[in-house]
Chain A
Amino acid sequence: MKKFKYSEITPEKIYKKRRSFIKSFGFGFGSLALSTLPLINNSFANVDQNKVTSFEDITTYNNYYEFGTGKSDPYIRSQNFKTSPWNIKIEGEVEKPLEISMEEILSSFQSEERILKLRCVEGWSMVIPWNGFSLSQLLSKVTFTSKAKFVEFESVYDPDQMSGQRYPVLNWPYKEGLKIDEAMHPLTTVVTGLYNKKLPNQNGAPLRIFIPWKYGFKSSKAIVKIKLVEKMPTSSWMWASPREYGFYSNVNPKVDHPRWSQATERVIGNDIFAPRIKTEMFNGYGDQVANLYTGMDLKKYF
């Protein structure tokens, strides 16, 4: 798969300018790659914040407790993390379990740029130009049994390489989960890169998921296993504090974290004079995903 990427031939600053130029046209040339998935463009247009966060901020300001709880720990401590060879198992309630290598994933799925907003449960947000494809495409490689109701994501467990895993900060390995309809939603993205570069280790290399309408911790990094299950999985954060971190964890300005408000957020990269911005329902992706939750009391199913 030898292919030139824009980032290899374009300096980042120019590249970024080009991006904002393209965006100023709304549905210009840049949208061509996404034209098959118009809802992703729309969703971005809904997000008031149309400034893409810098590569530096995206890759040095991370929550990735496997490498430590400090924001710069992942950047500092993950540089020697080995991401190859890497296999991903898809198992559980499937007709035939599958083990697929990273090489195979990269060669069989066409990645596209998806500029999506990340809202952290701590009250900050970024806009990230991910490269990836819909999880539904990957899951189409297996046939679900009738019992498959939820998807559980298991991240890698390797305390030798991940110093943070030597401490019981969370219940290792990191686990997260989605309802099957959430997992099959086109916005649920398998991420293999950002800024048209290989996904940096501190951002969850070699493969992570990204669910833009949920708080960031729902988007597991360094995934090794995807398990289809019948019962709602218990995520690592639910283990840590079930009262505070729910299974759904949809971005919702009306449902506070028990200990802090979720009504507003700070935009990463802004200076000290920039005000907080209002947090949007489903992080601004309500038009695309609200129908997944019709009739549900989102205060109860937080």
Chain B
Amino acid sequence: MIRYLKSSVFTLSLIPFFLITYKIFFNKLGPEPVKEITHFTGEWTLVFICLTLAMSPLKRFTKLTFWINIRRMLGLFVFFYATLHLLTYVVIDYRFDWGPILNDVVKKKYIYIGFSAWILLIPLALTSSKKMVRLLKQNWKKLHRLIYIIAIFGSLHFIWLSKTIFFKPLIYTLIILFLLSLRIKFKKNT
């Protein structure tokens, strides 16, 4: 049963990827296609961050362990979409033109913080296997709390690239802050 549910979550998580691939191949990206891919992959990264963060509160409220069973997979999809997002920027948008890319990474805070978030995702992705969970024991949990910082970085990345105070980045920020606040209470109770 769990196995079946897990594979459906996996398939569902790939829908955005197939959707953007379809849009690329059938020229449905609109007047600014590169920005469309960038925004699409970026926004889905944030969605998966929110989903990943929602799993342990969901487990607490529903008393179902299913949520924890799919949590790591959702986390890996954060890395997957974040990597597509970064690759869009480096390969399609700037075509490996390292000068302006490095300039952005160093000087522009929204790029800097977005890039940092991606770097922080790497150790999480590398230690996502069952073997690594067993190997790292208590440290695994500590290490994977990095996702809290990544989530905040991700929402700041969105806020800082917007021209002024926009609705969407604020909504993501509020959701992330809400999901993080659930954890503060959790700790106090136990």
A residues with a Cβ closer than 8 A to B are 56-57, 60-61, 69, 71, 121-122, 124, 167, 169-170, 237, 240-241, 256, 259-261, 263-264, 266, 268-272, 275-276
Taking the closest CB of chain B, its distance from the CB of A253, in whole angstroms, is 11
Q: Which residues of B contact A122 (CB under 8 A)?
A: 163
Which of B42-50, B77-85, B103-111, B142-150 lies at the interface with chain A? B103-111
Sorted nearest first, the 10 A-B pairs with minimum C-beta distance are A57-B31, A61-B31, A272-B33, A268-B31, A240-B164, A272-B34, A272-B92, A259-B160, A260-B108, A69-B166
Q: Which residues of A contact B34 (CB under 8 A)?
A: 266, 272
Taking the closest CB of chain A, its distance from the CB of B100, in whole angstroms, is 6
CA distance A122 to B109 in the complex (A): 16
| Contact flag A69-B167 (CB < 8 Å), given A57-B31, A260-B110, A268-B31 | yes
A61 engages B30 (CB within 8 Å): yes
B10-28 contact mask (Cβ, 8 Å, vs A): 1 or 0: 0000000000000010010
Q: Which residues of A contact B103 (CB under 8 A)?
A: 261
CA distance A169 to B167 in the complex (A): 9
CA distance A273 to B95 in the complex (A): 9
CA distance A268 to B166 in the complex (A): 23
B31 engages A60 (CB within 8 Å): yes
CA distance A241 to B92 in the complex (A): 31
Q: Which residues of A contact B109 (CB under 8 A)?
A: 259
Count: A-B pairs, CB below 8 Å: 59
Q: Which residues between 70 and 94 of chain B lie within 8 Å of chain A, taking CB atoms? A: 92-94
Taking the closest CB of chain A, its distance from the CB of B88, in whole angstroms, is 9
CA distance A56 to B108 in the complex (A): 33
Taking the closest CB of chain B, its distance from the CB of A263, in whole angstroms, is 6
Let me know if B1 is at the binding interface, CB within 8 A. Answer: no
Let me know if B133 is at the binding interface, CB within 8 A. Answer: no
Which A-chain residue is minimally distant from B33 (CB atoms)?
Answer: A272
B104 engages A261 (CB within 8 Å): yes
Let me know if B35 is at the binding interface, CB within 8 A. Answer: yes
Q: Besides A124-B32, A276-B94, 12 other CB < 8 A contacts?
A: A57-B31, A69-B166, A169-B165, A170-B164, A240-B164, A256-B108, A259-B109, A259-B110, A260-B104, A261-B104, A266-B93, A270-B33
| Contact flag A241-B164 (CB < 8 Å), given A259-B108, A272-B92 | yes
CA distance A61 to B92 in the complex (A): 21
Q: Which residues of A contact B33 (CB under 8 A)?
A: 270-272
CA distance A61 to B31 in the complex (A): 7
Taking the closest CB of chain B, its distance from the CB of A169, in whole angstroms, is 6
CA distance A169 to B163 in the complex (A): 10
B31 engages A121 (CB within 8 Å): no
B161 engages A259 (CB within 8 Å): yes
Taking the closest CB of chain B, its distance from the CB of A10, in whole angstroms, is 23
A264 engages B100 (CB within 8 Å): yes
B35 engages A266 (CB within 8 Å): yes
B100 engages A263 (CB within 8 Å): yes
Which A-chain residue is minimally distant from B168 (CB atoms)?
Answer: A69
B147-178 contact mask (Cβ, 8 Å, vs A): 1 or 0: 00000000000001101111100000000000
Q: Which residues of B contact A57 (CB under 8 A)?
A: 31
Contact partner, B163, options A121, A266, A268, A275, Cβ 8 Å: A121
A272 engages B37 (CB within 8 Å): yes
Q: Which residues of A contact B95 (CB under 8 A)?
A: 275
29 A–B contacts from the bound complex (CB under 8 Å): A61-B31, A61-B32, A69-B166, A71-B31, A71-B32, A122-B163, A169-B165, A169-B166, A170-B164, A241-B164, A256-B107, A259-B108, A259-B161, A261-B100, A261-B104, A263-B100, A266-B32, A266-B34, A266-B35, A266-B93, A268-B32, A269-B31, A271-B33, A272-B24, A272-B29, A272-B33, A272-B37, A272-B92, A276-B94
CA distance A272 to B33 in the complex (A): 6
Q: Which residues of B contact A60 (CB under 8 A)?
A: 31
CA distance A113 to B165 in the complex (A): 36
Q: Which residues of B contact A270 (CB under 8 A)?
A: 33
Q: Which residues of B contact A56 (CB under 8 A)?
A: 31
CA distance A270 to B34 in the complex (A): 9
Q: Which residues of A contact B29 (CB under 8 A)?
A: 272
Taking the closest CB of chain B, its distance from the CB of A120, in whole angstroms, is 10
B34, B94, B108, B109 pick with most chain A CB within 10 angstroms: B34
CA distance A73 to B109 in the complex (A): 28
Q: Which residues of B contact A266 (CB under 8 A)?
A: 32, 34-35, 93
CA distance A122 to B164 in the complex (A): 11
B94-121 contact mask (Cβ, 8 Å, vs A): 1 or 0: 1100001001100111100000000000
